[in-house]
Structures are given as structure tokens and as C-alpha cells.
Amino acid sequence: MEENYSDDASGFDNTKTFKKAKNQDNVKCTSTDMNNGSSVPEGCVAQTGSKDTLMADFRAPETDLSYKLNAREKKIIDFRGKLYLAPLTTVGNLPFRRVCKVLGADITCGEMAMCTNLLQGQASEWALLRRHSSEDLFGIQICGAYPDTIAHTIDLIDRECVIDFIDINMGCPIDIVVNKGAGSCLLTKPMRMKGIIQATHGTVDTPLTVKVFGRVSVPVWLIILSDQLLIIALVRTGYFEGRNRIDSIISDVSRWGASAITIHGRTRQQRYSKLADWDYIYQCARKAPDTLHVLGNGDIFSYTDWNRHISDCPEISTCMIARGALIKPWLFTEIKEQRHWDISSNERLNILKDFVHFGLEHWGSDTKGVETTRHFLLEWLSYTHRYIPVGLLDVKPQRLNWRSPSYFGRDDLETLMASESAADWIRISEMLLGKVPAGFTFAPKHKSNAYDQAENG
């Protein structure tokens, strides 16, 4: 999980209201305080409120898209046909989400934050809840082990943050999470899972999503909208390879109260070792009751992938995009414009420049802010080098699982961007952020088998 920082380690004070900053200098994004801790839109600063405002909800300017709504004004979240950028660990930070919004994403979601860290007021965890005003449909993802912990966290977030939905992660397979009794550990504790859902149901009227692995190892997303329970279930096909189970419980998911289900076409055991099983997703979608919306997820990497899944199975409402957006965030543009974009190296560099600009706004332009921006730029470049330019393909489109041999691009910059060497990623960062400090090295947090550890600048 990405490390971010904040001045206010406890989140927000109830006695504060907020106003629009006159200039960027008013927003304290220092070397230690990367993103100021909470999900108030960027460009807002704290100001002590008057007595009349102490009893009022946070009110942003009327022109701000992210103002906090009262219960009767909660947004109706309709995922049908919308382009949804999935929660992405490390790289799915605020500057990256801004890039994706510019390129056509409709829905964005922050990275996973741990409930205990939020309740302890850890600045780095509150920073993950930060949203930008351009994120007009935005949710956050939290993870915890106990009903009371999650309920208290959601109550705090609902009072203090400007968000559209909350996702509770009950499917994370990472050891450090599972060993604390959270994430996929909850699949062995169905009664605790039930307690968590019941506790959260009575806590807030903010749209709430819950991601879990059930007794058959399926992650579920749950959304609570005002007094109406709207549940979106995000599931893998099963736990072990060859033992798909979702089709046998998809009617139960609806009966339990789910209004929608997102199916990732792999088992937990498979991870990303095989292509997503869209035939099985179709099978589940066709078996689902009419009251249950089905969303597909897995290996979306072109507008033709998107079109094929929607046309082959009209029962699917939409698809969620994850790794494809990391490798080529202009995928959202391709889907909306229905074309394979033969993007040039200079156009790709301009997208990286946008990220750097957003990063310096977000993390600060001092020495620490520059190096933080560089770090997350390098993390992103560890994915983008896998893109193969459309103009070099004999067969279109590129598939997400393709690993091309080394090749020469149509210009030197395109060749540089295709490099698997961290030393070359560092060279790209120096084009945008200046020379790295003496002795600088970089290793990506999520290493692929192809990562070149030998050449590291």
C-alpha cells in the first residue's frame, strides 16, 4: 500500500468548516505531509467555524462537485455502461486517478486503508481517503477484522469525509492483512462476516461497498444507499482452480440482498496465471435473477474486449478495468471513442507530464515532494513499459498477457519507454523531474518476472 502523509493525524475536527483556498500555497502538502490526510477535495483548507456552523454539515462552495450531500440528496449510483477504474494498490493514487479522469474514467475508487490505522489517526492512512474535485463519483476502500472496528471507522468516515460510497475489503490475500484476521481470513469466519455486514448496515446512509471472500471464497461488494440496501458483490469464480462455485450461489447472493455482482473470472488460486474465464462469467450472468445486475472483470485491454463482452452477454451491465488502465490509461478514451489509439511517444510523454504536474500539486514541490512524485512515477512506469504500440502490431489488439521481446520503437523515446530496465525508467523520470540524488536506486513494489534487477542505475 502506498505511503502518504497528513498534518492532521486524527482526521478532521468537528468544529471546522472549510473554504476554497485562494492559491495552491494555502494547501499544506509538505515533504512530510504528502496529501493532508482526508478526502476533502484538493484546494480546500481548514478554518475554525462560527457557532452557527458547529451544528451544520460540511458545506463546500456550490460550484464544487464534491460537496457533502444530506440523506435525501444522496447520489443514486448507476454503474450501467460507466467506465469504472478499480481500486489499485500503490499506483491508484490521486494523481493517477486524475490522469484517468482526464482520459475518460467515470468512476474512481481509492486504495485500501486499514480501519485500525484510521482509528489511530495515522496520517498515511487518512491520506488514502483524499479525493480530487474532478472525481465526481468516488469511493474509498477500507479493511478490518471486527464488526465494531469497522462500524466505528465507517461512522467516522461518514461524518468527516466527502465520498460517494465505501468499500469494505474482506478478500485481501496479503499475509500481513490475513494474519491480523482481516481480508480473506474472514472467509473462515462466516459469523464474523455476518456481524460486520450487520454492523455497517446500521451505521451510515452513505453508499457502502463491501468486498469479501465468502465461505466459497468469493469477494463481495456491498453498497448501502440511504435507507435502501444496495449490494454489489465482487467475486472470483471460486477458491481453487477447476472448482468454480459462483453459479451455484448467485441466486443466494441476490436473496441475501445483493443488487449487483461483479465477477472476476479467475479463482483465488489462479491469481493472474491464466486468462479470465469470461465464458463462466457469462454463465453466471445468464443464471442470475433479473433483480441482480452482473458486472464482469478481467483482462479488459481494448475497446473490442469491452464491446465483445457486452454484446456476447447483454445480461452484463458493465465491466471494471484494473491492470489495463495501469499499462495504458488511455484505454478509457479508446472505449469511449471506439478506436485503437496509435498513441505516439510524445503523447505518452505528455500523459506522464500530467501525472508529474498532478503529483507536485498533491505531494508538494519541495525536495521531498519531488522525490515522492518520482517514486510513484517509477512504480507506474514498471507497468507502462508492457504496452506495445498499435503501429508495430501485426495482429490487433494487444492482449493483456502478452510479453513481447525487446524491440526498437519508431523513435528513440518509444524504444526507451519499452525498456524493462529500472535504469531506463529512472532516465524517463529525470526527463520530467531532474537528476536523481547520488546513489539513487529503485525496485518496484510489485515485481514482475520480467523485471530486470541487474540494471538499476
Q: Which three cell numbers stand for residue 387?
A: 504496452
Q: Which three cell numbers stand for residue 242?
A: 477447476
Which residue out of 172, 185, 284, 313 is catalytically annotated? 172
> Which amino acid does the sequence have at 385?
H
DSSP summary character for residue 406:
P
C-alpha closest to that of 428 among 334, 355, 343, 323: 355
- As a dihedral over the C-alpha atoms of residue 42, residue 47, residue 52, residue 56, rounded to 10 degrees, the angle is 30
Mark whether 284 is an active-site residue: no
Q: Count Cβ atoms below 10 Å from residue 41 Cβ, excluding itself.
A: 21
C-alpha closest to that of 211 among 235, 195, 187, 239: 235
Angle, in degrees to the nearest 10, between helices 345-363 and 367-384: 140
Cβ pair 278, 243 in contact under 8 A: no
The residues pairing with 235 across neighbouring beta strands, listed in sequence order, are 263
What's the count of helices (H) and strands (E) in the chain, helices before strands?
15, 12
Active site residues: 172
